[in-house]
């Protein structure tokens, strides 16, 4: 791999080129994401490129394990947590080796406490910034903005998620697709999990209707990623500027439904290629004027919005509805997202309700009132 050159007229070396990110995206375990990633790694090796495997999770799948033959494997780092030994990707060792390409399985993985970074995707960002290209794998249900939708379909809350902006940074997203019936056949043949784990999978994600719904989401998401890249609007970092024809405001408060509202609003903003604000209105005394529990909850929601790269604002006003609508008009917001008050059926329509006040005041804007979703129980 060529090294950065130094300009003889300058004491500083040229900036290192960022590595390229390729994501192999599926909708369930066993569709062939890791297999395809390793096939691509092997092809790159045959072309004479410097390739290593930074992390590989075999799951006992013989065909997939065979795809690693001849590839250099970076030894895993051992960490002890609560008296047990765990193995994680050794990011420091990969940086020291500095290959051209690194294959990294299970992009959404949460590292064991004691690792330098919380998430594997954060480790991957470090590799990319150092100039190493990365091929990695993930399922669509790990995308943060889809968390509530996936829960509705499966009845299961996915805990390991990746912010949408991380996936949007990928130079290429490759869909690995298998019909649900074929995937279930693989499961029954023992090609995905052992007998006991396979039986457990059949009671969770591996129902044909569930797999079909997840597959449809994966197909739509991949089409969306393609559109982003064709339009040249892939979010490449905090400096991204889009001349958006539409802006969205998400109202943040202490309600437990706010996290789902943030996901919903952000996903709509991404599809519309719109700027997005998460706005909270607090009393004139500021956050300090709120009860401790409400303050902590709101701060947690605002932090969540920032992790999704949503611009946050805290307004101080004794009249929350007026402050929200005024902010919307001053900032060219076309859509306002509000959560429906919980545990109030007909009562939520009362005149003094914040939602109804915003609807009356923002008669020149689109106001979307989102009810809290309930998980489907199978």
DSSP labels, 335-364: EEEEEPPTT-SGGGGSTTSHHHHHHHHTTT
State how beta strands 77-81 and 84-88 pair. Answer: antiparallel
H or E element that contains 172: strand 172-175
Span of 65-74, 78-87, 225-234, 257-266 with lowest mean pLDDT = 225-234
Average pLDDT over residues 277-282: 96
- Asked if residue 85 has pLDDT above 90, the reply is yes
- Asked if residue 366 has pLDDT above 60, the reply is yes
Q: Give me the pLDDT at residue 348, please.
A: 40
> What strands, in cross-sheet order, belong to the sheet with 133-139?
72-73, 51-55, 101-104, 133-139, 21-26, 172-175
Q: Give me the pLDDT at residue 202, please.
A: 81
| Backbone φ and ψ of 9, nearest 5° | -90, 0
Neighbours of 58 (CB within 10 A): 11
Instruction: Indicate the average pLDDT of the chain.
Output: 87
Q: Please give the torsion angle defined by the CA atoms of residues 312, 231, 165 and 309, in that order, rounded to the nearest 10 degrees.
A: -10
**Spatial distance between the Cα atoms of 52 and 74, rounded to a whole number of angstroms:** 7
pTM strictly above 0.85: no
pLDDT band at 1 (very low <50, low <70, confident <90, very high): very low
Higher pLDDT, 137 or 345: 137
Domains delineated in the chain: 21-231 (3.40.50.300), 247-370 (3.40.50.620)
Average pLDDT over residues 290-313: 94
């Amino acid at each position: 791999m060529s090294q950065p050159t130094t300009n003889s007229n300058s004491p500083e070396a040229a900036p290192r080129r960022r590595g390229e990110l390729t994501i192999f995206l599926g909708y369930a375990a066993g569709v062939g994401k890791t297999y395809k990633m390793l096939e691509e790694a092997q092809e790159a090796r045959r072309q004479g490129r410097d390739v290593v495997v930074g992390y590989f999770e075999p799951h006992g799948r013989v065909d997939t394990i065979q795809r690693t033959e001849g590839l250099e494997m970076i030894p895993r780092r051992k960490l002890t947590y609560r008296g047990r030994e765990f193995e994680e990707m050794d990011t420091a060792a990969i940086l020291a080796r500095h290959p051209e390409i690194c294959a990294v399985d299970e992009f959404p993985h949460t590292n064991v406490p004691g690792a330098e970074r919380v998430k594997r995707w954060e480790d991957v960002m470090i590799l990319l910034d150092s100039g190493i290209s990365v091929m990695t794998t993930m399922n669509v249900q790990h995308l943060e903005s889809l968390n509530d939708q996936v829960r509705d379909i499966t009845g299961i809350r996915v805990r390991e998620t990746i912010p949408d902006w991380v996936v949007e940074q990928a130079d290429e997203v490759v869909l690995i697709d298998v019909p649900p019936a074929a995937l279930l056949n693989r499961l029954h043949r023992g090609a995905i999990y052992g007998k006991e784990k396979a039986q457990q999978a059949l009671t969770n994600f591996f129902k044909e209707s569930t797999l079909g719904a997840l597959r449809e989401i994966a197909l739509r998401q991949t089409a969306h990623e393609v559109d982003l890249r064709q339009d040249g609007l892939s979010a490449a970092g905090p400096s991204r500027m889009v001349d958006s024809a539409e802006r969205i405001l998400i109202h943040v408060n202490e309600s437990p439904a706010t996290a789902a509202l943030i996901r919903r609003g952000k996903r709509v903003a991404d599809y519309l290629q719109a700027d997005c604000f998460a706005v909270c209105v607090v009393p004139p005394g500021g956050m300090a004027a709120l009860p401790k529990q409400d303050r902590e909850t709101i701060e947690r929601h605002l932090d969540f919005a920032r992790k999704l790269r949503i611009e946050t604002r805290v307004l101080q006003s004794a009249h929350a509805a007026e402050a929200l609508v005024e902010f919307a008009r001053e900032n060219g917001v076309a859509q306002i997202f509000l959560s429906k008050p919980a545990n109030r059926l007909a009562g939520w329509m009362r005149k003094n309700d914040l939602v109804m006040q915003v609807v009356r005041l923002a008669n020149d804007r689109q106001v979307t009132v989102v009810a809290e979703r309930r998980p489907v129980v199978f």
